[in-house]
Chain A
């Protein structure tokens, strides 16, 4: 794919020389272009991270396989995890927020367009830095290239003693840089949603997608900052000879775990909240009903935000915490089920009594509901600390979080791709290909991640490059690997669909879904200034009011 994903409305782009156009994109401060750049960037890394996963799965398909060496395997899962979290889902989150939030709240751009561009380029640079390690990290020792410490990089593996060469430096610097980018982007989202809403759009009337991104941004501020702090400490240890995580000088390995998970747990809700936001936009439109219990949805989101700050140590049930600490973190972890359950039930209630149309976006959202339910319940099992003494660091955990991240987040983002594709490009995607994509990916997902739970229950730890035969893991691992092939096919179909539809798709019009939020009121693709006249709104569904003047929403809210 090239960078020209969207036809820019006014300028006849094709007549402008390529270098000029490229220059236009590189120097842009427009929220829509930056949004698309984030998304494109995430797509490239999704392929890279996916290929890494594929290689790992080939290695694990049969016991005692020799497809890759242990050193390479350890780099693969570190790079896969880091890439997928920081350079796939995070940019997707910021990309969609960037593109959609100003349009949904009737604003012309983000609050700080130049900060916005700066944040994007920081994130972009972080990803490139991480991958440059394959070339640059060898150093004098003939030491390893890409980082191989795992995505949570527990001390003391990251110390100079155990990680010679520069691979860990690339890891930490890359996350530091992209972390600053994320903080910048989050500040921008907060300022935009709080300060640029169009007249009449009180916080109680803001679309849920914007709300969830607001809470997400708040969590980024409070979560990424501790990560940055911990990375600064690691840099001090590695470059200046500090002892923060130096167990030989009396330092503690456990404090790194605390610092990391104080970031790491809120981070997973940073990833999932925008996905919730997408579901909260798509499910109502395709069920033809208003979202059920809007105020409660907002309250539940804020509650999730708060509770998620106090559960981090459920990743540390096996490090030998006191039984009181374990008990506390069991309670806070399980408490999250309540607001999350409220959300699930409200989505169900939105579908209840509606006229559901299973276009591709709705298919993906329905699958999300189903899969997120299972993933949440496996989360609860892990939240029961004694159960987790078995499950921690086993393939069950791997299955749990891929269930959330792939089955929950990636599915909703696919839905978002299809839902907003007509708005962004002005053309309709191909529904047949989209359904093919759905079914391939759905089957692949379930083959891979359903069966991945079982070896976990049978004692298979994660991060092992090979395993012994005779432990009852062989069959399951083979099925899991086969599933990935279907996923890859699904993603190929997805890409073909995007490309084909971009050039050949039917013209979509401004409002193909008969939807209700402000972005559908402007042309497709939206002009650089977004709205010719600043819209003013009276309810949560301004376009519903407009289409049903006899029965507008503001009577009931």
Chain B
């Protein structure tokens, strides 16, 4: 038999399949959500179980400004992708950079908060159960922001070098999905750590 023996009548309907980039990104997001769920469960389970102080109420301050930064970056990245889809490269570059800047500001916020906790309050991951779960959960999220920022920055560089064109809108959109995910995880982390946990 030869290598191509199948000559079936053409299927009637048009053959379209989902984009593999999006499918893969959604799978990755599912996996990441599972990881975050475990950390969130650990956080909630250990609330108030520390054998020694300090407690969340004593030392945590609610990072409202930085939260606004991160959440608004979801809007700017959306606008960036829209611009690219309609071919407005200039607008894309600007929105994209703004997204990066907002994300970076958020990360700086986390850094400042941690600096304060570690150096001023003497509160570390070793202090008690609260310290362990707090630094792990917030740190895991910060790590994801960092990964996102690196990707955003790479795309921005490529744009400046003239390598990002309208036909890349699909891929950029997939990256934006990841960024939206990082943002929505923050909503959960924020609620758990700064609202319920306090």
| A interface residues, Cβ below 8 angstroms from B | 111-112, 183, 186-188, 190-192, 194-197, 199-200, 217, 221-222, 224-226, 228-230, 232-233, 236-237, 240-244, 249-252, 255, 259, 262, 509-511, 518, 521-523, 527, 531-533, 535-538, 542-543, 545-546
| Cα A504 to Cα B86 with chains together (Å) | 62
Chain A contacts for B23, CB-based, 8 A: 111, 190-191, 194-195
| Cα A190 to Cα B42 with chains together (Å) | 29
Who on chain B is nearest to A251 by CB?
Answer: B129
B51 interface residue per 8 A CB criterion:
yes
Chain B contacts for A537, CB-based, 8 A: 6, 8
Name A's interface SS. Answer: helix
Kindly specify which of B13-21, B75-83, B147-155 makes contact with the partner chain. B13-21
B64 interface residue per 8 A CB criterion:
no
| Cα A545 to Cα B9 with chains together (Å) | 12
Count of A-B contacts judged by CB separation below 8 Å? 151
Which single member of A221, A229, A523 contacts B27 (CB below 8 Å)?
A221
- A-B contacts, 15 of them at CB < 8 A, read A188-B24, A199-B10, A221-B30, A221-B31, A229-B38, A240-B126, A242-B136, A243-B129, A251-B129, A259-B42, A521-B5, A521-B6, A533-B3, A535-B8, A543-B6
Chain B contacts for A111, CB-based, 8 A: 20, 23-24
Asked whether, in the complex, the Cβ of A536 is within 8 Å of the Cβ of B10, the reply is: yes
Chain B contacts for A190, CB-based, 8 A: 23-24, 27
Which single member of A192, A255, A527, A542 contacts B42 (CB below 8 Å)?
A255
Report the minimal beta-carbon distance from A166 to chain B, rounded to whole angstroms. Answer: 20
Task: Point out which of A187, A188, A243, A522 has the most chain B C-beta atoms below 10 A from its C-beta.
Answer: A243
Report the minimal beta-carbon distance from A178 to chain B, rounded to whole angstroms. Answer: 15
Asked whether, in the complex, the Cβ of A225 is within 8 Å of the Cβ of B35, the reply is: yes
Task: Point out which of B1, B9, B18, B36 has the most chain A C-beta atoms below 10 A from its C-beta.
Answer: B1
Chain A contacts for B27, CB-based, 8 A: 186-187, 190-191, 217, 221
| Cα A241 to Cα B9 with chains together (Å) | 66
Report the minimal beta-carbon distance from B170 to chain A, rounded to whole angstroms. Answer: 13
| Cα A244 to Cα B42 with chains together (Å) | 8
Asked whether, in the complex, the Cβ of A229 is within 8 Å of the Cβ of B34, the reply is: yes
Chain A contacts for B45, CB-based, 8 A: 252, 255
Report the minimal beta-carbon distance from A269 to chain B, rounded to whole angstroms. Answer: 16
Task: Point out which of A229, A241, A521, A545 has the most chain B C-beta atoms below 10 A from its C-beta.
Answer: A229
Who on chain A is nearest to B32 by CB?
Answer: A225
Asked whether, in the complex, the Cβ of B24 is within 8 Å of the Cβ of A225, the reply is: no
Report the minimal beta-carbon distance from B34 to chain A, rounded to whole angstroms. Answer: 4
Asked whether, in the complex, the Cβ of B34 is within 8 Å of the Cβ of A240, the reply is: no
B125 interface residue per 8 A CB criterion:
yes
Asked whether, in the complex, the Cβ of A240 is within 8 Å of the Cβ of B125, the reply is: yes
| Cα A190 to Cα B24 with chains together (Å) | 7
Q: Give me the 10 closest cross-chain CB pairs, A-B, nearest first.
A: A225-B34, A229-B38, A533-B4, A241-B126, A195-B20, A242-B132, A200-B11, A199-B15, A535-B6, A532-B3
Asked whether, in the complex, the Cβ of B8 is within 8 Å of the Cβ of A521, the reply is: no
| Cα A195 to Cα B17 with chains together (Å) | 5
Q: Mark B73-103, 1 if CB is under 8 A from A, else 0.
A: 0000000000000000000000000000000
B55 interface residue per 8 A CB criterion:
no
Q: Mark B36-77, 1 if CB is under 8 A from A, else 0.
A: 111100100110011100000000000000000000000000
